[in-house]
Structure 1
Amino acid sequence: MSRSWWPDRPLGVKLATLVLAGSLALVVFGGISVTALHSTGERTEELLRTTTATGSAAEADMMHDAVRADVLQALLSGSGTRYDSAVTDLADHAATLQAALAAVRGGGLGPDVVQAVDDVADEVAAYLGAGQQIVAQAGADPATATAQYPEFLAAFEGLEEALPTVGEAVGAEAAAAARASADQRSAAITASVAVGTGGVLVLGLLGWVVTRSVVRPLRKVREVVDGLADGDLRGTTGITSTDEVGAIATALEASMATMRGVLATIGDSSTTLASATEELSATAQDMTRLAGESAHQTGIVAETAGQVSGNVQTVAAGTDEMGSSIREIAQNATDVARIAAQAVGVAGAATATVGQLGRSSTEIATVVNVITTIAEQTNLLALNATIEAARAGDAGKGFAVVANEVKELAQETARATRDITGQVESIQADTRGAVAAIEEITAIIARIDDAQSTIAAAVEEQTATAAEMSRSVAQAAVGVGQIAGSVGSVAEATGATTRAMGDAQVAIDEAARLAAQLNTTVARFRL
């Protein structure tokens, strides 16, 4: 876990942790107390049972002695009222003895007590049976009853020895219960003291931690605030936690940083203001001096304005003439551009015509090639016919003459086609040259057209510029007149400026005083 985890927790979390720890300690202490009370109650009930059993055991021992007294009374009285009382008392005492032992046995004690009661049960029964028998015989036959008394006495003595074991068992149970109660009470006290001490220590430690995590940062914040009250803006809290106190410290340091920046800015501004007031004071003096010089110059300006007005009017007339010349040039340039466009169109048509001539010569060449092919085939056929006529002998002479004429005609046709082919090739070469020349002429005319377009555009711009110059010159002429009229106003303004400089000097002196006061105020703070 990071060391800054606890300081960064909000104050609510820290206080809630303290309250939760206290509540947990109280719950643990209460749980131990309830457990101790419950155990103490159980030990108390056990002590109560052992106490009751102890009383019952003592009562049984007394009833054991009372039964013997009842038997002796019956033997001594023989008959009569005392005998009857002895009979009644014996019955009561015997019942009480048995009830007391039953109470001890059923008292919820340990098995040793139950075993002790069970061990004397037979002796109790024999003892009571012997006593009841003697009492019954004493009323009718005292001698027989007296003779049975030693047997009864032996039973008494046997029970006298055995009956204390019940009391001892009950006493041991009571002692064990007392020790357990004491041990339980001691353990409860020890646990309560331990839990109470631990709770106090834990709460004290948590309280110290919470208080330290709050008071120490607040003390640092107070030191910085006290320094701030004394004008020291250099202090820092050194707090890095993000709880409420840390947020306050961060905000305080940010505010102090802002104040340092503001005061530094104010200090710089006041210094700048003081310097500026000195410069303004010097400037005001210079402006006062210049205002006097301006009054002198206004007269010169008025005279110069008249001369400028005449010159501007002359320029306006020249500008109008230049505008007329430019408009004429623009018209000529437009005509040249139009003629160049027509020349481009004519050159394009000539190019198309020459191109068509080239294509026609190509077609003629194709036809001539066909004729040449036919002439060659005809010559071949004539040669074959001549061979066949020679084979035929005299019968083929006439056919040979015809074949020879056909061969000569085919050869003449071949020569003619070769001449035509040469002429067609010359035409095609001339056509290609003509096309190239026309294309070059077209390109030149196109460049002329582009140049004329550029010239026309430039002339139009010059026309617009000349018009604008004419308009500007006219406005300048009007402006010069206004300038001449404004010179008087300038003279008046110069006087007003001189008076304003006096007022400005007073304001500058006041600003200098404020700058000095700001410097004194800022000097109180240590940045």
Structure 2
Amino acid sequence: MWQSLSTGKKIWCSLLILMAGYAITTGVGLIGGYAMRGELNQVSKTMFPAAMESLSTLAQFKGQVKLYGDAVMAGDTELLDEAGQRADEVLAHLDTIAGLDPEAAEEAQALAARIQAFTAKALSIYTRVAEDFEGTDTEAAQQSLALADETRNLTEALANLSKSRSEALQNRLHEVGQEAGYQQIMNLALFIVVVVATILFNLIIIRKFITGPLSDTVAMVKDIAQGEGDLTKRLTVHSKDDVGELAYWMNQFIENLQGMIARIADNATSLNGSAEELTRLSGNLKEGAHGVKSKSDAVSSASDQMKGNMDSVAAAMEQASTSTTAVAASTEEMTATIRTIAESSDKAREITLEAVTQSRTATERVGELGTQAEAIGKVTEAITDISEQTNLLALNATIEAARAGEYGKGFAVVAAEIKDLARQTADATRDIRDTIVNIQTSTQATIGDIEGISGVIDKTSAIVSEIASSVDSQAQTTQGIADNVTQISSGLSEINENVAATSSLSTTIARDIEDVSHASGDMNDSCARSDEGVSSILAMSENLTTMVGRFRI
């Protein structure tokens, strides 16, 4: 069953065994811990409270004795009653100690009886002493001295009881600590034993079912990888787990590899024969390539010579075509220039006609200006007449004002102002008349000048018309020349294209022949490389045969 488990399940089983061992040690430790805790619980519930009760008993008894002393010193019997209550508490503590600690029960009960007797006796004696204010009861005084010795004895007995309980508690705690240390050592030892046993068991399982078969597999693969492998060997399958499946499939791989190596050996023998036949064919192909290359070199030389001649013819035709094209372009440019001149002449003729029309219009307007100047002259004459009459009226007004005497002084002033205004009007009218005369003179001169300009413009218009007519004739002649040159240029272009096509064809033929020559050279080089490849194939075939021979199949 173990051999049929997978490797992962085996590892999980090993881990479970290790965990089980750890659980066992942990359980043992827990059991010991629970035992120790029980011991500590017992100590805390019995011995420790008993020790504390013993200390409380001693303290209560000391308080009781002190109350006795205070009652005797103060003569207060009420303190004796309080001391009795303390005695009851001491007895209660001793009963508690007897119930908690069986070892101290007998001693506690004996002390309880002694303290009970002591308390009854002390109450009687100390009451007599406290009530004897005069000190006459000597018997009670002697009995109190004897009672003091009993008090010391009981105090020592209670102190011994407290000391013994404390020592017993310490001893028990020490014993529990030793037991706990021993339990820890035992738990650690058990844990180490379980862990070591589990590890050894796991190592044995891993070595037998995992690492052992894997080591055998690695050894076989290493033997095969180093080229000294015996392909007839097979791995032994020990189990049905993952390692067993690995060994099984490794055997299948080696078996397939054995068949492949055998087939490679057969193919290497066939490859060797094929390489020798390929070497012979490559030699024949190389000889044929040399012959083709020689003939193609001769044809290529003749083609290069023909191409040079065609290039010369093409260059000459190209130059002639270029010159004809330049003449055609110049003729076209001259035709365009003459056309522009003709258009400019037409525009100049139109402009001169317009100038003649405008000069005539200007002459008419200047004549109108002269006529208007004459009209203005007549108006100025009328204004001059008015100003002379105004002057006469001003003179008559002055004379009339002088006749009027004092009453005519204001009117005389107005008459003087009117006279002065009439004088200024006459002066201004005279200046206007002079200016109009000058305008009329200038207008007459301007009319004459404009008429002269009109004549010149008429002559210019006639000349421009003659130029425009001549330019039109010249443009028609030039256009005919340009058409002829264009036709010649087109013919040269067609010839040039045919020569270029012939040259291109020659170039193509030369390039094809050169390609044939290069192809022949490449074929020769390929044959050389083929020889090298065949040599390499032969060497590889020999090496492959040697390598295959290193395996035992």
What TM-score does the superposition give when structure 1 sets the normalisation length?
A: 0.46
| TM-score normalised by length of structure 2 | 0.44
Greater C-alpha radius of gyration: 2
